[in-house]
Structure 1
C-alpha cells in the first residue's frame, strides 16, 4: 500500500473523466476531495460503492466535498457504468496508471493462488489545502461512504 500518510500533501492528479471531461486536483483547491479507488466498473462491490457515494451526493455537496472515483477503466466504460447505475459522482479514468501508482494503490493481489497486479480499494480524504486528512486502506464497502461523509463533514465544521 501507499507510502502516503495523513498530513502529507496529496499528489497532484490529472485524468480524463466520464462525459468527456477532466479532473485535476489543483483545480479543486478550496474544496474537500474524496478520492476513492476501486478495481473495476460494473463489478458487484464497485457498483455498490459508487451507488452509496452517489446516494450521499447532496450531503457531500453541503460539506463542500467533491467525490471522485478512480479506476483504470476507459472513459467509455465509465460512461456506460454511470448511465446504467444512475451514478452522481465523477469517475476518473487512470489510463496510464500514474494516479493509482502515485497513491500506492496499484498492488500485487492474489486470487485462487494466482498473483496479478490490480487496484486495492482505498479512499483518501484531501482537505481544501491539498493535505491528506484521512486514508482508508483495504476498504470494506458496507457503510464506507457514510464513514467518509462523516469525516468530510468534520472538515467543514
Structure 2
C-alpha cells in the first residue's frame, strides 16, 4: 500500500508544481509537471485522494505521455469530482481554463500558452484553494462514496 503524504507536504509539492509550470511552459517542464501531478494524486492525504483521483490508471497515463498527447494526459487528471471548462482566445493566443468543484464551492481559473499548462495550473490552484478553505477537514457528502466504498449495484 502506498503511504500518503502529510497534508502540509502535499500542499508544498503542489505549490512547487505551480511555480515550475508558471515559470516555464517547456515540453519537458509540462511533462514533468503532469507526471508529478499523477504521483501526487496517488499520495494525496485523506479526502484529497478521492478529489484528485485521475480517470485513468498509471499505465494508461504513461501511454498518453509516451505518445506525446499531453493535452489528453492533462484531461485524464481531472476526476469525476470536478468540472473543467476551457476556451482558446485567438486574439491573445491564450488558453483559459476554469475548474470547478461545485460541492466545495471552489472555482479556479488559469491561462496559458498551451491547454495543458492552463489545465495543470488551474488543477493545482483548485487543490491549494480547497486546502486553504477547508484544511484537512474536507467533507465530501457524496452518496455512494460513504465510508470510502461504492454501494452495491442495484439488482433489477
The TM-score normalised by the length of structure 1 is 0.35
The TM-score normalised by the length of structure 2 is 0.35
Q: Which has the higher helix share?
A: 2
RCO greater where, 1 or 2, for CA within 8 Å and sep 6 or more?
1
User: Rg bigger for which structure?
Assistant: 2
Q: Which has the higher strand share?
A: 1
